[in-house]
Amino acid sequence: MIRNIFRLSILAILVSCGGDDGPPPAPVGAQLVFPEENSECTTGTSVNETLSQVTFRWLASNNTESYTLSVVNLDTNVPQTISTAATSASLSIAKGTPFSWSVTSRSTRSDQVAVSETWLFYNAGSETTYPPFPAQLVSPVSGSTVQKDLANEVVLEWQGADVDNDIASFEVFFSTDNPPESFVGTTNAPRMEFPVSVESATVYYWKVITTDEEGNTSDSGVFEFKVY
């Protein structure tokens, strides 16, 4: 009897020592530092007439072993990526061009990743003023299926920004054709949503043209969605 109790005690100790501590902690999203959001980056080192090298910086994030920097040319939607264990990385990017950038935090101890905010900036060129950043279409998400409201409408939402802070208006194009050529309305700078009439079981395409006070424009690119 005593021997059995002793064996059970040893087994309990082994089980308690080898207990499940839960999954390893997931990485935390990094806080971006530079280039600053909605800014003009003037600190790049010129590589040639069309390119300059820009050093991107962010703060270290918890539970992270490596970072993947993603920089997207907003004129072409072509991304550049680089992985590093440091909290900075340099890339050669086009001058006088709008970009977005973000950082993904990773760890070999976790299957999860964490993505930072996405910031926009212009890489300095010979320009003294810049067109607005292309509007970032938010809702409906491209490729999604959405429910119309009681008025048979869906609200289009986007985000707009400009280095010179002189956005004058947003023009909304919306139709069942791709690309959408039907102009459906204009909003002023503070308003970044627009209701449109829709029908069920139909695919729609939309884009936003941003215009600043000097007449410079930018094109958001086309999003699509389907209505139930």
pLDDT at 22: 76
Query: For 97-118, how does the pLDDT look when each residue is reduced to its tens digit (9 = 90+)?
Result: 999 999 999 999 999 999 999 9
* Domains contained in the chain, CATH given: 32-123 (2.60.40.10), 136-227 (2.60.40.10)
The span from the CA of 209 to the CA of 132, in Å, is 10
Residues of the chain with pLDDT under 50: 5, 8, 14-15, 18
Q: Whole-model pTM?
A: 0.82
